[in-house]
Amino acid sequence: MRNRHRTTTPLLAAAAAGVLTLAACSAPGEEPSVLEGDTITIGVKFDQPGLGLSENGGFSGFDVDVAHYLAEGMGFEREDVELAGVTSAEREDKIIGGEVDMVVATYSITPERKTEVTFGGPYYVAKQDILVRADETGIETVRDLEGHDVCQGEGSNSASRITDGLGIGATVADAPSYSQCIDWLSDERVDAVSTDDLILAGFLAEDPSAYRFVNNPFTDEKYGVGLPHGDVEACEAVNKAINEMYQDGTAGELLEEWFGSTDLELVKSVPQFEGCS
């Protein structure tokens, strides 16, 4: 958390106390909104090409660009935005613990997660799909994963949707990250990687001759903007910024920039928001 509470100089303390008896930024007992901070710390992925990748001392990717756009719409100058790398497994903990103010990191909105954080958005609706080696000929649908080894990143439930949700007898291999899953796929330690098509497209764009999409999506994955639980004010500001991002064409431009070289069908219309309550 970075300066969520604005500072007050000693000279102004008494005056400020008097003003606060009449009006306050937050109701008694409520946490202030992240909008009230002087700076904002945003959690992004650091090992997912095309979405959030740490390199050359900074971060790059679609989610990173979206994070900066949203922060500007929330009233923060670029120099007041700090990015921090997060893994899938630690996103809730980082928000709840105050280490980050907001998360833009392929963070699928689920009923369970909504009990711990408030979600703005979604800012994109991805589809779950499957990536296999380019020379793999036996996997053309999710049902073909029966008896195969499927990798998922720690903290993700993508492969579990195949085994538990669809009842397909695949063996789930949990890797520390999806970049590790791709390494295992390349080394033939697993037969497939299954997760959101936007994540897979980022890896595919890096080495299009080594892998291929099965291109048979089977779920919707709503990418939300994670915020402290109950911060409705920030959520509404995020939703307004997401709407503007699609209306002014920025979202479409960013999607083409990061994923246009793949055969992924990109959705460039404003997603239906979940609501901030």
The one-digit pLDDT tens for each residue of the chain (277 residues) are: 544 433 333 333 433 344 333 334 445 446 789 999 999 999 999 989 999 999 888 999 999 999 999 999 999 999 999 999 998 889 999 999 999 999 999 999 999 999 999 999 999 999 999 999 999 999 999 999 999 999 998 878 788 889 998 999 999 999 988 899 999 999 999 999 999 999 999 999 888 899 999 988 888 899 999 999 999 999 999 999 999 999 999 999 999 999 998 878 899 999 999 989 7
Residue 137 three-state SS: coil
Is residue 154 within 8 A of residue 175, CB to CB? The reply is: yes
Q: Rounded to an integer, what distance in angstroms lies between the CA atom of residue 241 and that of residue 71? A: 9
Report the pLDDT value the prediction gives residue 1, as an integer from 0 to 100: 52
Q: What is the DSSP string of 44-73?
A: E-SEETTTEEEETTEEESHHHHHHHHHHHH
Look up residue 199 and give its amino acid: I
Report the pLDDT value the prediction gives residue 8, as an integer from 0 to 100: 33
Architecture of domain 127-220: 3-Layer(aba) Sandwich (3.40)
Report the pLDDT value the prediction gives residue 30, as an integer from 0 to 100: 66
Report the pLDDT value the prediction gives residue 3, as an integer from 0 to 100: 47
Hey, what are 206's tokens?
A: 């890096």
Are domains 32-125+221-259 and 127-220 of this chain identical in fold? yes
Look up residue 75 and give its amino acid: G
Report the pLDDT value the prediction gives residue 88, as an integer from 0 to 100: 87
* CATH of 32-125+221-259 given 1.10.1040.10, 3.40.190.10, 3.40.50.300, 1.10.3720.10: 3.40.190.10
Give the model confidence (pLDDT) of 246-269 as tens digits: 999 999 999 999 999 887 889 999
- The domain segmentation of the chain, as residue ranges, is 32-125+221-259, 127-220
Is residue 213 within 8 A of residue 127, CB to CB? The reply is: no
